[in-house]
Every structure is written in structure tokens, then in C-alpha cells.
Chain A
Amino acid sequence: MTRLPAWVEFGVIPAVNIALAFLVAGVVVALVGEDPVAALTVMVQGAFVFEGALGYTLYYATNFIFTGLAVALAFQARLFNIGAEGQAMLGGIGIALVFLPLDAFLPGPLVALLAIAGAAALGALWAAVPGWLQAYRGSHIVITTIMFNFIAAGLLVSLLSGPLIRAGQPSPETREMEPGARLTALHDIAGVFGVEMAQSPLTLAFPLALLAAFGIWVLVWRTRWGFALRALGQSQPAAVYAGIPAARMTVAVMALSGALAGLMAVNEVLGAQGRTVLGFTAGYGFTGIAVALMGRAHPVGVVLAALLFGALYQGGAELDFEFATITREMVLLIQGLIILFSGALSLMLVPLFARAPGLGLGRR
């Protein structure tokens, strides 16, 4: 294998991948008959410039940090968790199961803490089962996690339209939780300190996500458990030789990955919306795959990639208002292209760079 210097591998190549994705998307915009530059301008303004835009960007990014970390952590152990979407749904169920019976009796912050734990626990469970099936029964984790996404969706619909439904109306959603249990919005916190900040659904979930990213970095690169995890990911035979319990490790890594995905529900349910509604995951679990790939499965990369995708989602929403023919689905297209270029075609660029003069590279 050809090895590239770090600045190429972690700097230039991701940048080229993004550029390629935008280039192709730009061609599509042009074919549709709109001006790509104008569209990009609208997206950038929508993501960063307009009133409250930054808050929305960071709010979306919070979702992507959680799901991106979930996929990235599993990647480090060479496990492909496609099930972040379903695990996040279970997280939403977990929160509902905590606040519905408790928020009338217990103090708000306690309910919130329990709800966070509930989200993590159910997300963990929903990932640990495929992990267990792979480790002890030899099922392919990719297929199992895909199937679990559908099973989770079925479960969520039947719970929200059955036992957990808000009484007296037909739409599949829970009632709203007591305001005291919801996560505080950052603009309110800023207000306490006398700082003016535009309203947005950005809540304490965002610092929680950053904390999770830091925690994952410490865990994977600075603990003995993380050493075992990485060894398992890079070479299962070597891990077994080293006395690392591969099967137990697989279940544990998947559980932790699922817990992170489940925490995405904290941002949506406990933060932004205050109730569990059908479809609250909105494909963010799949976006997590793009985020993890783009971020090279490293927490710092995941946070940066999540910011990029947060900006794309928020900026993309603005397209709906400004253009007749291009909509936020443009973002889905860009997302697909980024997965394609930075994931499936990741080996395409390497030889190009390896051959580039002046980098002093050769075959190892």
C-alpha cells in the first residue's frame, strides 16, 4: 500500500473529495437550469449569515456529531454499523418511556438525566443485539443492522400510534413533556449572561456532543480498552493472540456505538421538539455514515464533518425559499456524492497523489 503524508491524507484528500462532490452537484444544478454559484451563495448565507442561522447549523451538527461518532467508533473496531438510524429511534422511545410516566412527579433536571440515560440504554441495546449476533452467531452485522432499522421503524410507528400516542388525536406522536425536563436552549443561557443570541433549537445537547467526542478520543487513543479496540479493528487474529476477548469486545463496542446514536434523540426529542414524533430521525443516522467517512473515523474529523453537514442541512433548507426548482434534496445528493468520493472511491485519489512529483513518495 502506498502511504501518504498526514497532511495529504487528512487535509488535501478530504478537501478534494468535498470539492468533487460540490462540483458534481453544481453540474446538476446547472443542468436543472439554475446558477450553481447563486445556489451556493444562498446555502452559505443560510448556514452562517442569516439571523439565527449559525444556531440552526450547530443544532443540525449536534445530531451528526452523535451519529457520526457512533459510526466512527464501530469503524475503529472494523464493524460497519448501518443501524444508527434505528438506534436513534430507539433512543427516542427510551426518552418517551422515561418522561411520560415521570415528568409530572420528579424534578425536571432529574427527568432529563434519566431520559438521557434511557436514550443511551435503548440505543445501546438495539446495537448490542446485532453485535451479539455477529460475535456469537456469525451473522453479518451490516445486514442485521439494516434489518434492525426496519424493525425499529415498525416498532416506533406501532408504539407512537398505540400505547404512547397523545390522547385525543390521530397523529403518531407523544404528548409534550413538562418544560422543566427539556434541555435548556443556548440562547436562553446566553440571555442570562446578558448576551443577545438569536433564537434557535440549539440546546445543551451541543456541548454534550462535544464532550462525547472528547470522551471517545480519550477512550480510543488513551486507554487500554481503546488499545484493545483498535487492535481488534486492525487485525482480529492479532487481537485474539494478544488475549483480547474479541466477541465480548464486539458486543461492547456496538453497545457504545448504539448509545451514541441513541443520544441523537436527546438533541431532537429532549432538546428541539420536546416530544417523540414519528420520523424525528429524518435520515440523520445515515448521514452519520457520511460524517464518519469524511472525518476519517476520528473524533476531531467527525466534529468538523458534522459542522460541514450541519451547514449543508441548514443552508439547504434555505434553497426551498429562494429557488423554484432546487430544494433541500440537493443536500441529499451532495451527501450521497460525499459518501461515494470519500468512501467508495477513497482509493481512486491515492495513486494520483502518490504519483505526484515532489511529495517524495514511493511504495512502501
Chain B
Amino acid sequence: MLDLVLMLDSALRLGTPLILCAMAGLVSERAGIIDIGLEGKLLAGAFAAAAVASLTGSAWAGLGAALLASMLMALLHGFACITHRGEQIISGVAINILASGLTVVVGIALFRQGGQTPGLGSGERFGPITFPGVEAMREIPVLGPIYAELISGHTLPVYLALATVPLVTWLLWRTRFGLRLRAAGEMPAAVDSAGVSVPWLRYRAVLIAGLLCGLAGAYLSTAHGAGFVREMSAGKGYIALAAMIMGRWRPWTVLAACLLFGFLEAGAARLQGTALPVIGEVPVELVLVIPYIATVALLAGFFGRAEPPKALGTPYVKER
């Protein structure tokens, strides 16, 4: 029992950056802008957070820097894809490679530790938030461990990540901004002829994506981890992309996909080296590729269909 709770707890921790990045991708792609650059923004955010936290001693300053760095990357993506109608995929690839290079170059210049930041102390990180009554609750069977381990004791970004799901749902489906944003991803000409600027809508969408990726990055280096190491995003941006597709561009199903992928990762870590009955020892590397295989299978229509927004990937050019 406690095992399962701990696994779920771990899934939530591992799923947090996925949730944030997948929501980022969702907002961007619902507006019609493909976001392959989640990975790069995540990495840039993680580096900026750890570097600034280390230099200033404040986790909050680090968070601010992460948001700024990631949003600058997003702005670059917007500049290329919205203003200059560039290929969105190419721009995303460029951002990922730029982030790979820049984080190490700047990291070495600042800290001379081969691209890492120094380890962060407690004031430089987001600590766990303990909910009231944990000690009292702990003794209660079933609910106690769930409350103490799974619900309480996470860092701020974890709770923020969970909050983004209803927030994004509300924003996209219950507000004027959301209606227009989704229209821009389906039929931008309709938005334009209604007298609303498509570029400005799309810029706001990519900036929101930058914001969320920055938060995810800060989580990686200043909450989940204690400092930045090279390539610490380790493909999480791409898994988030996969989760967004798995969840068919809808917030709650995307959340489910993120938690599932987080659970797989948590499970793989526990499986390491242990032999299962019947199957024997499972290569962890192969468990970790399940999200990718599942995404390929979904896209191929082997279970269900994933319908992306109609205007996804097409720059908006006024016709005639």
C-alpha cells in the first residue's frame, strides 16, 4: 500500500515538468503554432533558475530568471514563425540546439564547473510545503499516507502545475481570449475578418507557453533538483509533446497522459535490476521508451485518432 502511494508520489514529482510543458504546448498549438521547442525552453529555464538562484541566493529570483529566459526563447520562436512566417519545426529545432549550446557556454563562463551550476542550498531552492495536520493524519490507515505523502509535502511548482490544468481549461474554453485563440488555430482568417489580430493572439499564446516552460525549468533545477547539470531536461520536453498528442490537445486528458508517463518513469526506476516473474529482468531503457511507442501508435490511429488543430503549422498570411 505504502509502496503504491510512494510510487504515485514519485509519479507526480516526475510528472510535474511534463504537465507544465504539455500545457505550454497545448496553448501554443491550440493557437496554431507547433512547439517542438518545449525541450529547449525547459532547459533554458532550468539553467537560468539555478544560475540566478546561486548568484543571488534567492529561489524566487531564480524563478523570475527562468520565466524570463524561457519567454525570451518563446519570443524568438514567435518572431521567426509569426512575424517572419518561418517553418515552425525548424525554429523549434533551432531553439533546442541554441539552448543546449547557450546553457553550457554561459554556465562555464559563470561558474567554471564544466557547465554545471554549484549545488544549491536550502534558501536557494523551493522547499516542500507541509500541509497542516500531517502528523495527526499519518496514523489513519489508507487516507493517512495518502494525505501525508501524496497530497502534502510537495514543492510550490508541483501545486502550480496541477493548478494550470483547470486554469488552462477555463482560459481556453470559458473566455473571450480562449475562443479567439482556438479560432486562430483552426481558421485564422475568421479571426482576422472579425477584426482581431491573429499575430498578437499567437504571440500571447507562445508567451504563455514560454512562461509555463520556464516554471517547469525552475522546478527541475531549484525544486526537484538542487542545481543545474548539462542537458538536465533529458528529453522531458519531447515526452511532454508526446503527452500533449496522447491527450489530444485537451487539458484533462493531457494531464492523465503526463501522470501516466510519470508513473512509467517512476516504475522503471524501481524495476531497475529487479527480476519480474515470468518476464525476467526488464531492461529499464525499454520501459522508458513506452511513451514514445504509445505516441507513435496513437498517431498511426492504432487506437483512436488524434486530430490536431486545423491550422497547426501554417503561418497566417492574408490572402488575395
Residue A306 is within 8 A (CB to CB) of chain B in the complex: no
Chain A, residues 55-84, CB within 8 Å of chain B (1/0): the string is 000000000000000000000000010100
Q: What is the interface size of chain B, counting residues whose CB is below 8 A from a CB of the partner?
A: 48
The verdict on A82 contacting B93 (CB below 8 Å), with A143-B295, A151-B292, A325-B108 known, is yes
Chain A, residues 320-341, CB within 8 Å of chain B (1/0): the string is 0000111101111111110110
> Which residues 92-148 of B have a CB within 8 angstroms of A?
93-102, 104-106, 108-109, 112, 115
Q: A146-B238, A154-B285, A347-B86 are in contact. List 17 more A-B contacts (CB 8 A).
A: A28-B102, A33-B109, A82-B89, A137-B300, A138-B300, A143-B242, A143-B245, A144-B300, A147-B238, A147-B293, A150-B292, A158-B283, A330-B101, A336-B95, A336-B96, A340-B91, A345-B80
Q: Tell me which residues across on chain A come within 8 A of B90, comparing CB atoms.
A: 289, 293, 339, 343-344
Residue A348 is within 8 A (CB to CB) of chain B in the complex: yes
Give min CB distance, B10 to chain A, whole Å.
20
Check B89–A150 contact: CB distance below 8 A.
Answer: no
Residue B184 is within 8 A (CB to CB) of chain A in the complex: no
Residue A191 is within 8 A (CB to CB) of chain B in the complex: no
Residue B36 is within 8 A (CB to CB) of chain A in the complex: yes
Check A327–B105 contact: CB distance below 8 A.
Answer: yes
Q: Tell me which residues across on chain A come within 8 A of B308, comparing CB atoms.
A: 140
Q: What is the interface size of chain A, counting residues whose CB is below 8 A from a CB of the partner?
A: 50
The verdict on A147 contacting B242 (CB below 8 Å), with A330-B105, A347-B86 known, is yes
Q: Tell me which residues across on chain B come within 8 A of A343, comparing CB atoms.
A: 86-87, 90-91, 93-94
Residue B156 is within 8 A (CB to CB) of chain A in the complex: no
Q: Tell me which residues across on chain B come within 8 A of A144, comparing CB atoms.
A: 296, 299-300
The verdict on A345 contacting B86 (CB below 8 Å), with A82-B93, A154-B285 known, is yes
Residue A162 is within 8 A (CB to CB) of chain B in the complex: yes
Q: Pick from A148, A326, A334: contact of B108, CB below 8 A.
A: A326
Residue B4 is within 8 A (CB to CB) of chain A in the complex: no
Prevailing SS type, chain B contact patch: helix
- Measured CA separation A337–B94 after assembly (Å): 7
Residue B301 is within 8 A (CB to CB) of chain A in the complex: yes
Q: Which A positions have Cβ atoms within 8 angstroms of B?
A: 28, 32-33, 80, 82, 133, 137-140, 142-144, 146-148, 150-151, 153-155, 157-158, 161-162, 286, 289-290, 293, 324-327, 329-337, 339-340, 343-348
- Can you name the residue of chain B whose Cβ is closest to the Cβ of A160? B285
The verdict on A154 contacting B289 (CB below 8 Å), with A137-B300, A143-B245, A347-B86 known, is yes
Check B105–A329 contact: CB distance below 8 A.
Answer: yes
Chain B, residues 45-87, CB within 8 Å of chain A (1/0): the string is 0000000000000000000000000000000100111001111
